[in-house]
Amino acid sequence: MNEERAWYLLSVQLSGEATPEEGEELHALLSQHPEWGLRADIIRNMWNNRQVSRPVAPGHFDKHLQRLSNHLAQPALQFDSEGVETGTPVMEEESHRTRLRWLWGTTAAAACLLICFLVFWPPAKKPVKPLASNTISTRPGSKSKVELPDGTQVWLNADSKITYGQNFSGNTREVVLTGEAYFDVAHATSVETGQRIPFIIHTPSIDIKVLGTAFNVRSYPGESTTETALIRGSVEVTLHDNPDKKIVLKPDEKLIVRNDNATVVGMENEKNDGISNAANNVPMMMVSKLRAYKQDTGSHYETMWVKNKLAFENESFDRMLPEIERWYNVTIQLKNGSLNNLHFTGVFENKSLAEVMEALSLSRGFHYEINGAQVTIW
Amino acid sequence: MNDPNHLRSLQERIALYEDMQAYHELYNLFFHNLHRFCFSFVKSAEAAEEIVSDVFIKLWQIRNKLPEITNLKVYLYQIAKNFCLNYITRHFKNPVTSLDEINIETVISLDNPEELCISADLINTIQQTIRQLPPQCRLIFQMVKEDGMRYKEVADVLQVSVLTVRNQVAIATKKIAETLPAYIGQRQRAEGKR
């Protein structure tokens, strides 16, 4: 009995769980019984002969990372599909599986029915747009900056509008944009799945999908093109007319898509100033470099408006005038069509409409008249 | 692996910054122990490595919730145990109902006889004794001795009481003591410096 007590106390001590009293008791027992001493020493030595922490060969972690990225591509862990069923009798496990299979079958059938219903029942309605319940808009002549519920910062240019659904902060982040906006998208990760939640912007001709990044989208209803200019991060653009084709932009690139028929015909490279051409010559879609503003590497003409600067770089008159109209909330009437071929480069900061018109007319030699909210050029 | 403050800081770095360095370090800290633990169940080094990898995939998937886990070590062993039981159920077509039904292969390191002051024969005897212990007893002994886990931690992982853990470790120790010679030169040729 005493001996068994001694081995018990030794095991507790070696496990690091012994109280001081137990330690003293063991000490007393072993000094009373020196014949146990050798065995106690052997056990102590054996116990402490723990393997020295060997370094882990790097191959293991590399292999693991490979498996991790495979799993992230197609979630649902292999072992997760069948829950842990410790202590469950065989029969019950079987019936549970059958029930699960049955459930899956019914769910799939119901889903099929629902899809058929949605596709065929309301003949004209498209069920794809997210339920829009919040709208932020700016009038011509004003700009605005807002923060969405997920922390994304949005600068809205004049005469623009974004709408987003009630469930915005859940597992989807989708907005519908009309006009021009600069987005600084905050990272968001789903609580349930641990996956990044993409941020999707719908425009009439393209959808833009991002994870976390800063970029400018210009999609005014009256204009012939939709522009996506990426400042940092990465975005993926899907053309509505060609959903299979996805275009991934790199920082400092912008994508220009023609609105009337947004199909891919080919990628033109930079230098090709598609905008200045007449509408007929504008390619269906092209990727070009952002137009950097002078030596200031951080600024681009595409996003100058965010800093309240009205900026043009080799901009054609017919594209400039709508911008001035929106900026100052005026209507401009152009009486001399040949002026459309003029191009301008310049930045206006905190200038009045009169100052802008005066500068333009001086440099290009045209006449203008401002009459309230009506501007006439000839 | 046994420094809770360090573990906590790794947990937070992974959760807040998706810090791959911290993730790598955590993997290295636990690889050998979790691998040994899984090997006890599945008895295949390859399968054990895949299960350890799955444990860390799971960890990455729930990285946002990491700060809520109070004892990460216990958590990792728990997932590993569940994955092992799933693996056994899938591969051997018989659902596992108790740990004692699995033929657990324990790995108790008794590598350097010189350091242990005992003969190779004696090591064989000890290993033999350990092999004859009931599976659950062996596993508990391995986790306490090899992985340096507290009774409470082992109890949480295996879902038994702390008392059970304490008793099983005591039984293992007593069995080993009983097979050891009381005096140098008795029965086995127990060599020693004392």
Interface test with B, best of A8, A42, A62 (most B CBs within 10 A): A42
Alpha carbon distance B18, B14 (integer Å): 4
User: Cα distance from A193 to chain B (closest Cα, Å)?
Assistant: 7
Fold of A134-289: Jelly Rolls (2.60.120)
pLDDT in tens, A59-111: 888 888 888 877 776 444 333 333 333 333 333 344 444 455 555 656 666 66
Residue of A17, A36, A61 with shortest CB distance to B150: A17
Cβ of A61 and B24 within 8 Å? Answer: yes
Checking if the pLDDT of B93 tops 60, the result is yes
Write down all domains in chain B, each with its CATH number in brackets.
Answer: 4-96 (1.10.1740.10), 113-179 (1.10.10.10)
Chain A to chain B Cβ contacts (< 8 Å): 156
pLDDT tens digits, residue range B12-59? 888 888 888 889 999 999 999 999 899 888 888 888 999 999 999 999
Cβ neighbours of A304 (radius 10 Å): 20
Inspect the interface and report whether the beta carbons of A46 and B95 lie closer than 8 Å.
no
Contact A191, B61 (CB under 8 A): no
> Is B173 close to A79, i.e. CB distance below 8 A?
no
Residues of chain B with Cβ-Cβ distance to A86 below 8 Å are: 82, 85, 96-97
Residues of B in contact with A58 (CB under 8 A): none
- In this structure, are residues A199 and A211 in contact, taking their beta carbons and an 8 Å threshold? yes
CATH, range A308-377: 3.55.50.30
Contact A68 B192 (CB under 8 A): no
The least confident of A143-147, A246-250, B117-121, B164-168 is B117-121
Residues of chain B numbered 1-20 and touching chain A (CB < 8 Å): none
| Residue type (1 letter), B104 | I
Residues of chain A with CATH 3.55.50.30: 308-377
- pLDDT tens digit sequence for B111-157: 555 555 566 777 788 888 888 888 889 899 989 988 889 999 999 99
- The C-alpha atoms of residue A249 and residue A233 are separated, in whole angstroms, by 9
Q: What is the pLDDT of residues A263-273, one digit of tens each?
A: 433 333 333 44
**CATH 2.60.120.1440 domain extents, chain A:** 134-289
The C-alpha of A235 sits at a distance from chain B's nearest C-alpha, in angstroms, of 21
Q: Which residues of B, range 27-56, sit inside 8 Å of A by Cβ?
A: 27-28, 31-32, 49-54, 56
Answer yes or no: is the ipTM higher than 0.85. Answer: no
pLDDT at A90: 34
Torsion angle defined by CA atoms of residues A261, A265, A271 and A275, in that order, rounded to the nearest 10 degrees: -10
Least confident of A31-45, A182-196, B156-170: A182-196
Residue A237 to residue A244: CA distance in whole angstroms:
11
